[in-house]
Amino acid sequence: MIELSVVNDESSTLKAPSPTVIKIIGCGGGGSSAVNRMIEAGVSDVEFIVLNTDVQALNVSKAQKRLAIGQELTGGLGAGGEPSVGEDAAREDAEMITNVVKGTNMVIITAGMGGGTGTGSAPVVASLARQQGALTIAVVTTPFEFERSKRMKNAQEGLKKLRENVDSLIVIPNEQIMKIVDKKVNFLQAFRLADDVLCQGVQGISEIITKPGIINIDFADLRTVLRNQGEAILGVGVGEGENRAVDAAQRAISNPMLADRHIDGASNILVNIVGPENLSMMEVDEIVENISASADKDCNLIWGQRLDPDLGEKVSVTVIATGFEKGGRDSSSGERAAENSNVIDYGTFERMMAGKAPINLNADDEEEEKEAEEKVEMTVKHESVGLGLFSSIEKNSEEASPAAKPSEKEAAPNSSLSEKLRRAVEHDRSGIEPPPSFNKRSEDLKQPSVWRNLRGLSKSIDLTDN
């Protein structure tokens, strides 16, 4: 007689948590603060660990594991803002850190770069995690401009070391937050917003694995996209209403949290779509189509879908893009320019319009480059920020009508980050909707670029004089 195993009852492993072991490690004061925000936000199915040279700071952490490092070196009094002390402290307790990361599939390191403990210890922790075979990702912030120049120098040196020791590095410039918040925001609110951004980024990565989906993205998929990839871009966008799918996709790849980056240079893109049961196949197609149209034609795109009743009628899209150092945007842009010197890629156009980067159309000499530059009329007065690492942008269901809508300057200083991001994105999108007669399937490059951007078509700009 053949015995059949029951695999779908309540005690089945199908109901068990994800077998992938994920540990989130907050290094230093900034990393520990971000971990507290993640715990408060309900990030689940991961283990939280914080480490610090400051014992007093460890005592207020909500993490399950708190590691006091470098006690012989610092006496538990902190690193004094010196990254070298933070690095030596981590090396002093390398064995303890190794035991913590042993047997882990993925380690996500978070830190505020520029200080002592976080800047110095994060690269050491990353190195030890990779030695144990863990997929190692760092999600870190860089200082505000109002902070001391020494902190920025420390941050840049720390990023260089961190980049050498992680599989993927996601950098969030805190200064970008200052461009979307009210001038009345105080120090505590600014740093709270920075913690929120870190929280959203780490949650966006971990929930791809910890929350099973209809079309599942497994750990092997995530490893393919993130292993040995260098700098990465992560975006999270939320949309609702009639155009929720397109809005979510566009907000995931075009938000104000990081300047001068665009997914058109990525060789790997992972897309995770989360929505209610009534999310249609057509909407899923719109999301993937929009992101595909914004990316390199030869990129490896992996996507998945998950149901989440808690979202109501909203749709959330998470995008992770990597592989920019492997023949990304620069090479593909050069090929297109070689084919037609009057055509540039959209990412380059964005940076030119924002005044963020020099124009380079492969001109043979400075004279030709100057002529190319004169073809673009720099009329954009406001700060136009390119692709962000991530933003969770949620519309307010009780949003005021356009006539009654308050200006950005009148916004309450304690408004949520997502509301500020939404206003920033909608400000850039206002007044650019194409007429009803516009053919969304058209590949005519003479159509205004902003229409193609909204409709997910070719993201290149024709500079030919007609």
CATH of the domain at 56: 3.40.50.1440
**Assigned domain for 406 exists:** no
| Position 256 confidence tier, pLDDT thresholds 50, 70, 90 | low
| Position 204 confidence tier, pLDDT thresholds 50, 70, 90 | confident
Alpha-carbon gap, residue 40 to 29, rounded angstroms:
17
**Assigned domain for 14 exists:** no
- Together in a domain, 153 and 244: no
Q: Can you tell me the mean pLDDT for 430-447?
A: 50
**Assigned domain for 134 exists:** yes
**Assigned domain for 193 exists:** no
From 171-180, 196-205, 253-262, the region with the lowest mean pLDDT? 253-262
The range of the structural domain enclosing residue 330 comes to 233-396+412-466
Alpha helices by DSSP H, listed for 211-273, are: 219-226, 244-253
Top-ranked range on mean pLDDT: pick from 11-15, 139-143, 198-202: 139-143
Mean confidence (pLDDT) of the chain: 75
Query: How many other β-carbons are positioned within 10 Å of the β-carbon of residue 452?
Result: 24
Q: Of 135, 166, 197, which residue constitutes the final position of a domain?
A: 166
- Together in a domain, 153 and 237: no
- Together in a domain, 239 and 156: no
Q: What is the pLDDT of residues 7-57, one digit of tens each?
A: 334 444 444 556 889 999 999 999 999 999 999 988 889 999 999 999 999
Domains identified in the chain, total number: 2
Q: Are 142 and 159 a contacting pair, CB within 8 Å?
A: yes
Q: Can you tell me the mean pLDDT for 393-415?
A: 42
Query: Does 104 have pLDDT greater than 90?
Result: yes
Query: Does 162 have pLDDT greater than 70?
Result: yes
**Assigned domain for 320 exists:** yes
**Assigned domain for 11 exists:** no
Q: What is the pTM of this model?
A: 0.68
Residues 6+ apart with CB under 8 A from 268: 224, 225, 229, 299, 300, 302, 321, 322, 323
Nearest alpha-carbon partner for 387 in 315, 295, 271: 295
**Assigned domain for 241 exists:** yes
Nearest alpha-carbon partner for 119 in 170, 165, 83, 76: 83
Q: Of 115, 141, 166, which residue constitutes the final position of a domain?
A: 166
SS3 label, residue 51: strand
